[in-house]
């Protein structure tokens, strides 16, 4: 028969208890660390927002649209449009783009990935300001002279992905 010293038995017993306590505390510790990391991400994001460039004014009282129905004709002229995102000012995504869209013309902007479709619309809406020397004119008004609310509130686009949702009518048929 083997005789095991009593203090060794107590030590093994304590180690087993510690293992079970560790198993119980590990999920709580992981949750605590996850929450701490999320709070740090929120802090970093808030700091980044505090250092963003200020957008142009929403309304410029001295330069309002010429009429309540502006733009009514739909004439668009881009002259020497060069656009670079703030994170990469050294490498513009649009280089000296110039084109004219006559009034009443329907236009679809198509192209492969990375061709500049979204950048072109960002320039029209002034989500990103074009470089000096670029000009976007809609119905005879240079868009740089307008406040952002006046400009963005009067333009509309159809999104790339059209979504149709089904709904049941009272007769039980599906309508699209």
pLDDT recorded at residue 54: 84
Query: Can you give the pLDDT at residue 131?
Result: 92
Do 80 and 48 reside in the same domain of the chain? no
Instruction: Please tell me whether residues 82 and 147 are part of one structural domain.
Output: yes
Residues of the chain with pLDDT under 50: none
Q: Does 82 lie in the same domain as 25?
A: no
- Judge whether 167 lies within some domain: no
The three-state secondary structure class of 139 is coil
Task: Tell me if 98 is assigned to some domain.
Answer: yes
Q: Is residue 60 part of a domain?
A: no
Q: What's the CA gap between 132 and 66, in Å, rounded?
A: 24
pLDDT tens digits along 22-66: 777 788 888 888 888 888 888 888 888 888 888 888 888 888 888
- Residues 87, 135 share a domain: yes
How far apart, in Å, are the Cα atoms of 3 and each of 7, 8, 9, 11, 61? 12, 11, 11, 15, 96
Q: Give how many domains the chain has, as a whole number.
A: 2
163 within domain boundaries? no
pLDDT at 103: 94
Is residue 168 included in any domain, yes or no?
A: no
The answer as to whether 159 is a domain residue is no
pLDDT at 171: 59
Let me know if residue 61 belongs to a domain.
no
Q: Are 84 and 132 within one domain?
A: yes
Closest CA to 86 of 127, 44, 42, 137: 127
Q: pTM score > 0.85 for this model? A: no
Residue 5 has what pLDDT?
65
Is the same domain home to 85 and 148? yes
Helices within 86-155 (DSSP H only): 117-124, 148-152
pLDDT (0 to 100) of residue 20:
74
Determine, yes or no, domain membership for 63. no
Q: Are residues 87 and 44 in the same domain?
A: no
Q: Which domain holds residue 15?
A: 7-52
State whether 23 and 81 are in the same domain: no
């Amino acid at each position: 028969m083997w005789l095991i010293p009593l203090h060794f038995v107590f030590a093994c017993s304590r180690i087993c208890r510690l293992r079970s306590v560790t198993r119980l505390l590990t999920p709580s510790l992981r949750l605590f660390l996850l929450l701490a990391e999320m709070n740090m991400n929120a802090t970093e994001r808030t700091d980044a927002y505090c250092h963003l460039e200020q957008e142009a004014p929403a309304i410029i009282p001295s330069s309002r649209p010429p009429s309540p129905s502006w733009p009514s004709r739909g004439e668009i002229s881009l002259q020497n449009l060069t656009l670079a995102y703030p994170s990469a000012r050294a490498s513009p995504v649009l280089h000296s783009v110039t084109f004219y869209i006559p009034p009443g013309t329907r236009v679809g902007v198509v192209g492969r990935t990375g061709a500049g479709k979204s950048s072109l619309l960002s320039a029209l809406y002034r989500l990103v300001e074009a470089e000096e020397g670029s000009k976007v004119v809609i119905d005879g008004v240079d868009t740089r002279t307008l406040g952002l609310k006046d400009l963005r509130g009067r333009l509309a686009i159809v999104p790339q992905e059209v979504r149709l949702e089904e709904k049941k009518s009272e007769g039980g048929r599906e309508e699209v």
